[in-house]
Structure 1
């Protein structure tokens, strides 16, 4: 058979927008030439403010040329900065980073050191960045900024083994924000693939602060990311002992437990709520977990409680509306979606799309069309236009529906193909198969290897009796997409349906079934080709599997015919008549019933 065509972050990703300086990375504001060069030139005019290039130690003297006089130094600095910036403009980041690195060693100026680190980071010369960061801290040992940059350079250089002492010193210097900074540790190393190394580093860094719940939380996060679930659980439970009402820790505990047992995670959230019934974040997480386990009644009870306390929180209203929709409580879902769009959420398209679906299902076509028209750019944009066009066609406005599909603004080339296929579908349903074929064939002429167009035009060619075109296009599709189960199935089914080349048909459908063993349409095709070959028992087995997966009228027609041939007349009639009640306009079913009518 052929086939028709803003929630709260999880604790593991937790971060605050106002993270303190310990979370800064190597990215620094660009030091403009206008600001840096005059500051050096000003030193010439004000000897009392000169910095310390003349007091360099012997180590740096070995790596740079003798320091020239002030005027010569200023000229060299200006020249080298210009040279480095021109190299950057030309895309030669390696040359720029080398020039700045030499200049940093020459001047030991903090601004030039900072610019050196930035350029070296851009060039991914983390060795140069690390050298400059260490020199900066040597020049300004009390600079907190220099300490931050050194840590960042060590992180980017993947020198984690020696990093813990520097992190501890930096953490200790900001006692007022210690807890928050501990929570930010994992974010600093989020891009590092060596999760074990990160875990050991954070474990070592947090030891001096082990009396703080945030330290245990940080270790738990790192342990969980490294796959050390036992250690992660023990650490997060210690955090909860220190701060029993800490929702963030309760959420992380549940997240860790989910990896081994969703039911245990749910139990942990339930225990926390029993002790802290106003914990809204935990209650929301529990409601979502219950939905994941299909415990819808319990989830609905929680959402009802949450909505009493927080009727205007989109992160609660939206999932509550979705749950009502899943439970076929359309009126309740509609009320909640209508409320959602009044809450000032940045993107209302999804809510409008669901409101359109609800109105469409309730036969309120004009209302549905108005909702679909309000769906903006995004995942629902094209589906909303497709549904609008179908509604217009059902109202007898086929021409208007086609115009709407062709005039969608902002559609991608891939979207345009799907819109054309939808237009052809509307024409086919209106019994205008030739026009439908012409629409797609014209597009295929411009894109002769477009897979979807090859497939759809092949199916329409079959409807028009153009079997040569059907076969040639499906074979071309198989050549272009050798893993396309639908192409093998369509070609095999076309042979089986015409009762020709049945051996080849069986091979094609078997190939399709191997690629997509659960596809009900392919299972139906296999049943149909086996029926054509006279293997009625095997045919019925495949058809029953197909019908169990999809209540499709054509599958019901095939089952009815096979049952009739097996002498099971009552079952055949019952199967087809029950299907006809659900699909009264289906031609294949009506034809089968007429064929076997007494």
Structure 2
């Protein structure tokens, strides 16, 4: 049976934000301005004399740019743009900053250009956009108003992306500025939408509606307005929140983007059948759109229309898009249909990606059920040839998959460490296998190899200290290692548990109990419960100890460490 992956579907169906292109050499506002450019021709200006002290840095900037050393060229131009009263120089520095996507320099140069040429509305728009991207929304809204005043309206709503994270004064300033813009330009849809969003963020849904209604009257097909209205209806829990968007989609059937947003909203609200129906219509008009096919395939998979999902994922593969995700889901479907060779081949085709590790693990699961250790080793050899940049991760997966064959896991780690002799992950993994096989000296050697490279490797300090606590009487040394780990990662419940346990071994019962209670409260793991119960038991507090153990067993019945502790102490759990 295939387990649905709602998280994948929900992620794929979230409403997409408006995309913006990489800045080029035109002065633009990439975040807050729609289709704004500074004209390539300017009113003739009197030639600005260049001070002698600026000649050399400007020449150096020119040489740097000819050599394509854009960072140095930008630094020199920006420095001179601040010093000289020359709009043309500031404009050139801004274009270069946009070209290299240097947010801070672009924001600074745009602001400088407005200072030098206050009537340049496109410069104000650029300043608003770059300041917004730079995380300065209050300043960005100020320049947005200047842009409006000079006939360059901007998408001021982009400054609300971090609204909830702002302090109260900043929120008030932004809200006031946006409402002022909407009041002064009541026919501007972008301003009205921004004001509606502000009201929604403030929880004033009626006021939000009052801003959006005129937009819908002027532009009933405006996607942002339709989707914002729908969100307001969802916020208020009305009986049919999708009424307007459904009606608008029916009225404008050729508007693919509107239908796509409707489908995504249905999916994000858990209405997968409704979303699927919309994707059917979308694909009728655009059958080779890989993005639509991929999302529709995920919906089919979620709703267990596996044959339809398989067909769509195979189309995506044919189109050469989102290959890793498509191969992964093909493998999942083939696996569910007991077509193991096809499933293994699909999982093998998944390259380094979000699905990579799970795909290889599922392939190995099938190989373990149907093949031998030699087949697993051959599979991973082929995978490392196919994906050499993921070789280290593949050695780890191979070692983990060979755990059921005596000695094979260690051999896989050995092969991996020949290729990656300094790999912390491989050394740590091999150390854990050594511990499970009682090879404590070899385990300690591997962990100390890590510490030789990084004396502050927290996980290794804790692992070595905990191992020494459990398997030796080197308690003082163990405590020192764990205390170092806790100093590096204060509050980590696993390390707190380790320290409480070694203090118990040292006979420091009160300190041990306090630490173990802290760890248990933060992370009520059965192993922590076993430790805390033992500390309570040896102090004569048997009733409390039994309660802690019972709680641990209620979370994981028959947990071996709790049962071993109870048996060793001669305790009974009636």
Q: Is residue 552 of structure 2 the alignment partner of residue 542 of structure 1?
A: yes
Instruction: State how 1:264-279 maps to structure 2 within 5 Å.
Output: 264=236, 267=239, 269-272=241-244, 275-276=247-248, 278=250
1:119 and 1:438 map into 2 onto residues whose CA distance is 50
Q: Structure 2 vs 1, CA of residues 350 and 521 (structure 1 numbering), >3 Å: closer, same or farther? A: farther
Matched residues in 2 for 1:26 and 1:302: separation? 33
2:145 corresponds to 1:164: yes
**Matching residue of 1:392:** 367
Equivalent-residue separation in structure 2 for 1:249 and 1:26 (angstroms):
17
Report whether the alignment pairs 1:457 with 2:408: no
Distance 1:273 1:231, change over 3 A: closer
Change (3 A) 1:494 1:78: closer
CA distance in 1, matches of 2:57, 2:416: 64
Alpha-carbon distance in 2 for matches of 1:185, 1:536: 62
Write the deviation string for residues 27-64 of structure 1: whole angstroms up to 9, x where unpaired: 9xxxxxxxx9xx9xxxxxxxxxx96538x9xxxxxxx7
Once residues 22 and 440 of structure 2 are traced to their aligned partners in structure 1, the CA distance between those partners, rounded to angstroms, is: 66
Q: CA contact under 8 A between 2:260 and 2:278: conserved in structure 1?
A: no
In structure 2, the residue matched to 1:594 is: none
Q: What are the superposed Cα offsets for residues 243-284 of structure 1, whole Å, 9 maximum, x if unpaired?
A: 5565432322344566xx5xx468553333564563734542
Contact (CA 8 Å) 1:458, 1:469: kept in 2 or not? yes
Q: Distance in 2 between matches of 1:277 and 1:17?
A: 28
Q: Partners of 1:65 and 1:228 in 2: how far apart?
A: 55
- Counterpart contact for 2:367–2:376, Cα < 8 Å: yes
The one-character-per-residue Cα deviations of 1:546-579 (angstroms, maximum 9, x if unpaired) are 35xxxx99699999999xx9798xxxxxxxxxxx
Q: Which runs of 5+ in 2 are unaligned?
A: 1-10, 34-39, 132-138, 251-257, 445-462, 468-477
Change (3 A) 1:234 1:306: same
Matched, 1:382 2:357: yes
1:363 maps to: 338
SS in 2 for 1:341: helix
- 2:27 and 2:126 in contact (8 A); partners too: no
- Of residues 9, 12, 15, the one that matches 1:10 is 15
CA contact (8 A) 2:310 2:333 kept: no
TM-score under structure 2 length normalisation: 0.62
1:294 corresponds to: none
| Cα distance change, pair 23–163 in 1 and its aligned pair in 2 (3 A) | closer
Paired residue for 1:289, among 262, 268, 271?
268
Change (3 A) 1:458 1:196: same
Label 1:93 to 1:221 Cα distance change in 2 as closer, same or farther (>3 A). Answer: same
Q: Is the contact between residue 351 and residue 387 of structure 2 (CA under 8 Å) also seen in structure 1?
A: no
Equivalent residue, structure 1, for 2:7: none
Mapped partners of 1:501, 1:469: distance in 2: 26
Is 1:335 aligned to residue 308 of structure 2?
A: yes
Alpha-carbon offset, residue 185 of structure 1: 3.5
Per-residue deviation, 1:17:
6.2
Q: Distance in 2 between matches of 1:213 and 1:25?
A: 17
- 2:64 and 2:72 in contact (8 A); partners too: yes
Matches within 5 A, 1:143-542: 146-153=120-127, 158=139, 160-161=141-142, 164-171=145-152, 184-187=155-158, 194=170, 196-211=172-187, 213-224=189-200, 231-240=207-216, 242-243=218-219, 246-255=222-231, 261=235, 264=236, 267=239, 269-272=241-244, 275-276=247-248, 278=250, 280-281=259-260, 283-291=262-270, 299-311=271-283, 312=287, 318-319=294-295, 321-322=297-298, 325-326=301-302, 329=304, 332-343=305-316, 344=319, 346-405=321-380, 408=384, 418-432=393-407, 435=410, 439=414, 446-447=421-422, 450=424, 453-454=427-428, 457-458=431-432, 460-464=434-438, 466=440, 469=443, 472=464, 474=466, 478=482, 481-482=485-486, 485=493, 510=517, 512-517=519-524, 519=525, 536=546, 538-542=548-552
Kept in 2, the 8 Å contact 1:524–1:546? The answer is no
1:53 aligned partner? 46
Q: Could you say if the C-alpha distance between residues 150 and 316 of structure 1 is closer, same or farther in structure 2, counting changes exceeding 3 Å?
A: closer
Does structure 2 retain, via aligned residues, the 8 Å contact 1:314–1:340? no
In structure 2, how many angstroms separate the alpha carbons of the residues matched to 1:529 and 1:466? 26
Q: 1:318 to 1:210 in 2, by over 3 A?
A: same
Displacement of 1:378 in angstroms is 1.5
Shift of 1:340: 3.1
The alpha-carbon distance between structure 1 residues 458 and 396, as it changes in their structure 2 partners (threshold 3 A), is same
Q: Do the aligned residues in 1 keep the contact of 2:264 with 2:275 (CA within 8 Å)?
A: no
Task: Give, in whole Å, the separation in 2 of the partners of 1:520 and 1:322.
Answer: 37
> What CA deviation, in whole Å up to 9, does each residue of 1:101-149 have, x standing for no partner?
66664xx7x5x45325546886849777645555457xxx7xxxx4312
C-alpha separation between the residues in 2 aligned to 1:373 and 1:433?
21
Alpha carbons 2:331, 2:344 under 8 Å: kept: yes
Residue 356 of structure 1, CA deviation: 1.3
**1:113–1:132 contact (8 Å) kept in structure 2:** yes
Are 2:85 and 1:85 aligned?
no
User: Is the partner of 1:408 in helix, strand or coil?
Assistant: helix
Q: Which residue of structure 1 aligns with residue 459 of structure 2? A: none
C-alpha contact (below 8 Å) 2:519/2:528 kept by paired residues: yes
Q: Aligned in 2, Cα 1:528/1:456: closer, same or farther, shift over 3 Å?
A: farther
Q: Shift of residue 203 of structure 1?
A: 3.0
* 8 Å contact kept, 2:493–2:522: yes
Distance 1:306 1:516, change over 3 A: same
1:177-208: per-residue Cα shift (whole Å, max 9, x none)? xxxx66x3434886897555444434333334
Cα RMSD after superposing both structures:
5.7
In 2, are the aligned partners of 1:96 and 1:119 still within 8 Å (CA)? no
Match of 1:586 in 2: none
Q: Deviations over 1:54-86 (max 9, x none)?
A: 8x9xxxxxxx799xxxxxxxx999877424424
Q: Give unmatched runs, 5+ long, in structure 1.
A: 1-5, 28-35, 40-49, 57-63, 67-74, 172-180, 292-298, 569-598
Please say if residues 165 and 205 of structure 1, whose CA atoms lie closer than 8 Å, have aligned partners that are also in contact: no
